[in-house]
Amino acid sequence: MSESDLPTPRLPNARDAVRALRPSQIREVANAGFGVENVLPFWFGESDRVTPEFIRTAASEALAQGATFYTHNLGIAPLREALAGYVTNLHGATSVDHIAVTSAGVNALMLAAQLVVGAGDRVVAVTPLWPNLVEIPKILGAHVETVALGYGAQGWTLDLERLLSALTPDTKLLMLNSPNNPTGWVMSAEQQRAVLEHCRRLGIWIVADEVYERLYYADDKARTAPSFLDLAGRDERVICVNSFSKAWLMTGWRLGWIVAPASLMDDLGKLVEYNTSCAPAFVQQAGIAAVQQGESFTRQLVADLKTSRDHLVRALSALPGVDVKAPPGSMYLFFSLPGAQQSLALCKALVREVGLGVAPGSAFGPEGEGFVRWCYACDTARLDAGVARLQTFLARHVAG
Amino acid sequence: MSESDLPTPRLPNARDAVRALRPSQIREVANAGFGVENVLPFWFGESDRVTPEFIRTAASEALAQGATFYTHNLGIAPLREALAGYVTNLHGATSVDHIAVTSAGVNALMLAAQLVVGAGDRVVAVTPLWPNLVEIPKILGAHVETVALGYGAQGWTLDLERLLSALTPDTKLLMLNSPNNPTGWVMSAEQQRAVLEHCRRLGIWIVADEVYERLYYADDKARTAPSFLDLAGRDERVICVNSFSKAWLMTGWRLGWIVAPASLMDDLGKLVEYNTSCAPAFVQQAGIAAVQQGESFTRQLVADLKTSRDHLVRALSALPGVDVKAPPGSMYLFFSLPGAQQSLALCKALVREVGLGVAPGSAFGPEGEGFVRWCYACDTARLDAGVARLQTFLARHVAG
């Protein structure tokens, strides 16, 4: 049989569950701005500042010293020890056998999901939410129910009873992200306690994405937002996910970690082997520098972010039709403005017409429609330039 | 309800499919050698040489220049372009819209599997095999049938008819690794053509793990082993997986790539987003240096590996009861010796008694029992030292 006799294949496609995953609406907006000069991008969840030099130097030194080999699946021992110390310091006694290093915070979420959910399992998530938490379980064949936060005079709030009633006995996993991307909502310790007790009773796993824990502004004395690690025993059905991206400005390094029951670690090690095998050796060395020498940097960063948040809230509040509140955590304002009922179209128009890059609320689920997300992790001059562009746009489009 | 009223939870466990995944027997052997001084490790699939300096320097320069931000899910454009050129050079015209950068070769395998298989799907793999290819589909709920290579006077060989008859119409995916880890077996172009035509007829996907393609010794004029990329159109149901680990000694960098139909790339980008989001920015910059400046390095590396392979084959052949053949590819000898019918126990004894670290054949599936794997990616003096230890062991245990 010659090749020309063979039937011409249709264009190959991914399986249906993958095709149904949400593409990034932020990317769609960024594409709409392709060719626009001088865009001011506030759409990604990333500071405009480079990683601190002492962390970059640590990686370069590790490279010079030849740290270019495979490492243990769960991470190099000194980094696991440094993280155990860091977590202990923030949230109480945590030994190294509860710590695993991962290839990014999102990789930690994927690994956590692989640990506990498979095809047909029921997962619950609180939304609006960074899409990754909702989409990851679907890759594994699970189905995801959402419980929406409410928006009102207090900003974004959780109806605890609604969440508890969604956590039915057949629920396998609750995925939570607090401080929250995109809303800045922070779950209170009281709410966490109620959820934890409910999940204990029903044997429901909790995956808590706490990558923004240090970006918390509601209590000047608190070094972190309330965490499930403050309440849960280390051997309960709670998997806490964290990342180096936010507290040490290491987005492009793809380094994260997991705090989980020691009884999971052998299986987690297998999953790391089959996903990425380990994080790069010299990246892990840089992680040690971040954890051990980065505390003063992180504290200054959080102070700077609070200044930026307050500055942006003030500036946006002065614009007509904008409803914005200062949220207690993360690095975003998630606010409403004229035209945001079609947030994707609005954001495309904003980038095309005035070169302002913000993320559409609908990127974070249907519950996010009516809002846009603005990442304020930059200096106030840059924020002012962005607000001026928004003002120009609104003056042009909103009847006075 | 106070916390003390709550039922004490059982120790939390991962789901059954994850608990059933094979743990690494190589790790088990390494653990058996814990505390043994001066172990000579040939058990991992890794050279004992550090990554070339020009590649490490490229990463350090990128760090100094501030390449610490997120990148495009599919990789930075210059790396994708460099890889498209590299693949074109080796295997014929390949445009950048067929290239995706991944966080390691194993991550590329996980992404490829996520693209095409879900719960209940039938996957076929040729064994003995690096366990990752067999275990990854199980994480996604697929079941994996294996077709064993045979071992005889010609070394490891494939019974093509057996493989074709295992590729039934209800098969979703064939996973192949050639040059093969652990056996060094290389699939011929004729076999690849027959498999490709069969899979075309039945609509079966092929994931070809070709990370050892440059480590090919059967034809001095050939720069790579036979590849599905030489035969298949770029828009067929063929996903080729590769890695920077072997050709440029970059195991600890976790950088790989995929060549796949352009029609898959949007969905692949989503999966990258939900797995690791991207490879580290400065690691990708180092990848450009490897691809663009590394050709003479790779050629010398392959020449050195061939010298090491031949040296080790000669030395092992001189030992009593050892049956070893020089395989055409990869960087392993997979050979039989007295006691290898219980290869795990043998390898533990080897490391404990004489400090020789080799991998048990059973680590690569039941078809591997009776053999051990020796990675020869080091200089001949080191190989000689290992062989001397094996000789001591055999003299002690095998009746003369």
Calpha distance A234→A100 (Å, rounded): 13
- The verdict on A143 touching B (C-beta cutoff 8 Å) is no
Name which of A69, A117, A249 is nearest B46 (Cβ-Cβ): A69
- The verdict on B253 touching A (C-beta cutoff 8 Å) is yes
Residue B153: Cβ within 10 Å count: 6
Of A166, A98, A89, A108, residue with least CA distance to B11: A98
Calpha distance A178→A196 (Å, rounded): 14
- The verdict on A25 touching B (C-beta cutoff 8 Å) is no
Question: Could A9 and B237 be called an inter-chain contact, meaning their C-beta atoms sit closer than 8 Å?
Answer: yes
CB pairs under 8 A between A and B: 244
- The verdict on A254 touching B (C-beta cutoff 8 Å) is yes
Question: Could A63 and B70 be called an inter-chain contact, meaning their C-beta atoms sit closer than 8 Å?
Answer: no
Residue A72: closest C-alpha in chain B: B27
Question: Could A251 and B283 be called an inter-chain contact, meaning their C-beta atoms sit closer than 8 Å?
Answer: no
Q: At residue A239, what is the residue type?
A: I
Q: Are A255 and A104 in contact (CB under 8 A)?
A: yes
CATH of domain B53-293: 3.40.640.10
- The verdict on A139 touching B (C-beta cutoff 8 Å) is yes
Residue extents of the structural domains in chain B: 13-51+296-393, 53-293
Question: Could A139 and B114 be called an inter-chain contact, meaning their C-beta atoms sit closer than 8 Å?
Answer: yes
Name which of B250, B254, B273 is nearest A277 (Cβ-Cβ): B254
Q: Are A104 and A256 in contact (CB under 8 A)?
A: yes
**For chain B, what is the largest distance between any 2 Cα atoms, rounded to a whole number of angstroms?**
76
pLDDT per residue over A22-68, tens digit each? Answer: 998 998 998 888 889 999 999 999 999 999 999 999 999 999 999 99
What ipTM was assigned to the predicted interfaces of this complex?
A: 0.96
Tell me the nearest-neighbour CA distance from A320 into chain B, angstroms: 34
Q: Are A209 and A175 in contact (CB under 8 A)?
A: yes
Residue B252: closest C-alpha in chain A: A69
Name which of A24, A66, A271 is nearest B50 (Cβ-Cβ): A66
Calpha distance A378→A278 (Å, rounded): 32
Calpha distance B185→B327 (Å, rounded): 6
Q: For position A31, what pLDDT does the model report?
A: 87
Name which of B22, B103, B115 is nearest A103 (Cβ-Cβ): B103
Tell me the nearest-neighbour CA distance from B46 into chain A, angstroms: 8
Tell me the nearest-neighbour CA distance from B116 into chain A, angstroms: 5
- The verdict on B23 touching A (C-beta cutoff 8 Å) is yes
Question: Residue B58: how many CA atoms within 13 Å on its side-chain side?
Answer: 21
Tell me the nearest-neighbour CA distance from A111 into chain B, angstroms: 9
Helices B281-293 & B53-64, crossing angle to 10 degrees? 140
- Chain B positions touching A200 (Cβ under 8 A) are 6-7, 9
Residue B198: Cβ within 10 Å count: 17
- The verdict on B94 touching A (C-beta cutoff 8 Å) is no
- The verdict on A20 touching B (C-beta cutoff 8 Å) is no
Question: Could B252 and A13 be called an inter-chain contact, meaning their C-beta atoms sit closer than 8 Å?
Answer: no
Calpha distance A316→A336 (Å, rounded): 10
Question: Could B68 and A252 be called an inter-chain contact, meaning their C-beta atoms sit closer than 8 Å?
Answer: yes
**Tokens found for residue A269:** 């090690």
Residues paired with A177 in a beta bridge: A209
Question: Could A270 and B110 be called an inter-chain contact, meaning their C-beta atoms sit closer than 8 Å?
Answer: no
- Chain A positions touching B13 (Cβ under 8 A) are 263-264, 267
Tell me the nearest-neighbour CA distance from A318 into chain B, angstroms: 32
Q: For position A6, what pLDDT does the model report?
A: 54
Question: Could B281 and A136 be called an inter-chain contact, meaning their C-beta atoms sit closer than 8 Å?
Answer: no
- The verdict on A343 touching B (C-beta cutoff 8 Å) is no
We find that the CATH architecture of domain A66-293 is: 3-Layer(aba) Sandwich (3.40)
Q: Are A239 and A115 in contact (CB under 8 A)?
A: yes
Q: For position A1, what pLDDT does the model report?
A: 41
Residues paired with A316 in a beta bridge: none
What is the Cα A238 distance to its own chain's centre?
A: 18
Question: Could A71 and B281 be called an inter-chain contact, meaning their C-beta atoms sit closer than 8 Å?
Answer: no
Residue B199: Cβ within 10 Å count: 22
- Which residues fall within 8 angstroms of residue A385, CB to CB, at 6 or more apart? A40
Question: Could B11 and A263 be called an inter-chain contact, meaning their C-beta atoms sit closer than 8 Å?
Answer: yes
Pairing of strands B359-360, B372-375: antiparallel
Q: Pick the residue of B19, B122, B138, B270 with the most A CBs within 10 A to test the interface with A by mutation.
A: B270
Question: Residue B277: how many CA atoms within 13 Å on its side-chain side?
Answer: 29
Reported as type and span, the H/E element at residue B300 is helix B295-317
Residues paired with B144 in a beta bridge: B123
- The verdict on B74 touching A (C-beta cutoff 8 Å) is no
Q: Looking at chain B from residue 104 to 133, which residues have their Cβ under 8 Å from any Cβ of chain A?
A: 104, 106-107, 110, 114-120, 132
Q: Please classify residue A5 by burial: count the beta carbons closer than 10 Å to its beta carbon, then call 0-12 exposed, 13-18 middle and 19+ buried.
A: exposed
- The verdict on B35 touching A (C-beta cutoff 8 Å) is no
**In this structure, which topology does domain B13-51+296-393 adopt according to CATH?**
Aspartate Aminotransferase, domain 1 (3.90.1150)
**Tokens found for residue B153:** 């006077």
Report in angstroms the alpha-carbon separations of B65 from A52, A377, B217.
12, 20, 40
Name which of B12, B135, B261 is nearest A263 (Cβ-Cβ): B12
- Chain B positions touching A264 (Cβ under 8 A) are 12-14
| Tens-level pLDDT at each residue, chain B (400 residues) | 444 455 555 789 999 999 999 998 998 998 888 889 999 999 999 999 999 999 999 999 999 999 999 999 999 999 999 999 999 999 999 999 999 999 999 999 999 999 999 999 999 999 999 999 999 999 999 999 999 999 999 999 999 999 999 999 999 999 999 999 999 999 999 999 999 999 999 999 999 999 999 999 999 899 999 999 999 999 999 999 999 999 999 999 999 999 999 999 999 999 999 999 999 999 999 999 999 999 999 999 999 999 999 999 999 999 999 999 999 999 999 999 999 999 999 999 999 999 999 999 999 999 999 999 999 999 999 999 999 999 999 999 986 5
Mark the ranges of chain A whose per-residue pLDDT is less than 50.
1-4
Name which of A118, A200, A254 is nearest B277 (Cβ-Cβ): A254
Q: For position B151, what pLDDT does the model report?
A: 95
Of B309, B341, B318, B335, residue with least CA distance to B155: B335
Name which of B118, B201, B279 is nearest A254 (Cβ-Cβ): B279
CATH of domain A11-51+296-391: 3.90.1150.10
